[in-house]
Amino acid sequence: MAGARVVKKQSLPEMIASDLRERILSGELAEGEAIRQELLAEEYDVSRMPVREALKRLNAEGLVLWENNRGGSVVKHSLPEIGEIFDLRLLIELDLFRRSIPQMGEADFATCERILTEMENSDDISQWGKLNYSYHMALYAAADRRMSNEFLERLSLHSDRYVRIHLSVMKQREPAKEEHRQLLALARNGEVAAGTALLEQHILRTKTELLEMIAAQRKTPSR
C-alpha cells in the first residue's frame, strides 16, 4: 500500500484555525488586536469564507471576541479570569490524576519518560506549551476520561497562552522540571495523596508567579 502513515485530513478552516491559534498563543496577534478577514484571506491565499469559519471556531474556543458586524479581535482576559483558568485546571487535573494513578501501567510510565526527556532537551519556547500539555495528558491517559480531557485541552490552551508570553522571564522552568520528574515517581509508586498534593503545588505555583508577572506588566503599560 502506498501511504502507511495517515494524517487525518484537515479541512481548510481547521488548518487556518490551527495557525491562527498558534499566532495568538505566541503573541504575534496581540491582546485586543482587531482581525481583518480580508487581510487574513490574502495571507492564506483563500477567500474570506474559510477564514470566517476559522475565526468563528476560535471565537467558540474563547480566543477570539466576536462582535456583530464589527468582526473579531483577540480576547484579553482580566487577571481574575486568568486566575480562574488555573483554578479550573487544578480541579480537573487533580481529579484526573487521582483517577489515573491506580490505572497506570508500564506503557504509561514509558510514554511519560519519553516526553519528559524530550522536554528537557528542547529549548524551543513555542514547543514548550505543547510538550507540557502532552506530558500532563500522558499522566492522565490511564484515567481514560474523554470529556475531561477535552475540557482540559481548552483550559491548557488559555493558560499556555499567558504562560508563553511571560515564560522567557519566568523562573518557571527549573522547578517545573524537577516537579515533573517527582510527579512521575509518585505515580509509579501509586502514591495518590502525595502525587495530587504535588500537582496542586505545581499548578498553584505557576498561577501565582504568572499573576504577579502580568499584574506588574499591566501596571506599567510601557512597551
CA distance 1 to 19: 31
For 73, the 3-state DSSP assignment is: strand
Residue 50 touches which of a second copy, DNA, none (Cβ within 5-8 Å per kind): DNA
CA distance 143 to 192: 13
Residue 88: CB minimum distance to a second copy, A: 6
Does residue 220 bind DNA (CB under 7 A)? no
Q: Which stretch binds a second copy (CB under 8 A): 23-31, 35-43, 115-123, 144-152?
A: 144-152
Residue 47 touches which of a second copy, DNA, none (Cβ within 5-8 Å per kind): DNA
Of residues 11, 117, 126, 189, which one binds DNA by CB under 7 A? 11
Of 164, 163, 173, 175, the residue nearest 201 (C-alpha): 175
Contact mark string toward a second copy, 95..114, x via CB under 8 A:
x-------------------
Does residue 59 bind DNA (CB under 7 A)? no
The residue among 119 and 157 lying less far from a second copy, judged by its C-beta, is 157
Is there a contact between 69 and 76 (Cβ–Cβ < 8 Å)?
A: no
Is there a contact between 81 and 177 (Cβ–Cβ < 8 Å)?
A: no
Does residue 205 bind a second copy (CB under 8 A)? no
In 3-state terms, the chain is what percent helix, strand and coil (to 5)?
A: 75, 5, 25
Does residue 150 bind a second copy (CB under 8 A)? yes
> What's the angle, vertex CA 157, arms to CA 156 and CA 159, rounded to 5?
60
Of residues 27, 71, 83, 175, which one binds DNA by CB under 7 A? 71
Residues in 50-69 at the binding interface with a second copy, rule: CB under 8 A: 52-53, 56-57, 60-62, 68
Of residues 151, 181, 214, 217, which one binds a second copy by CB under 8 A? 151
Does residue 117 bind DNA (CB under 7 A)? no
First to last CA, the chain: 55
With cell 522567557, the residue in question is 168
Of residues 7, 70, 123, 146, which one binds a second copy by CB under 8 A? 146
Of residues 17, 20, 29, 35, which one binds DNA by CB under 7 A? 35
**Phi and psi torsions of 76, nearest 5°:** -120, 120
CA separation, residue 9 to residues 12, 14, 36, 200 (Å): 10, 10, 27, 38
Q: Which residues bind DNA (CB under 7 A)?
A: 11-13, 34-38, 46-50, 52-53, 66, 68-72
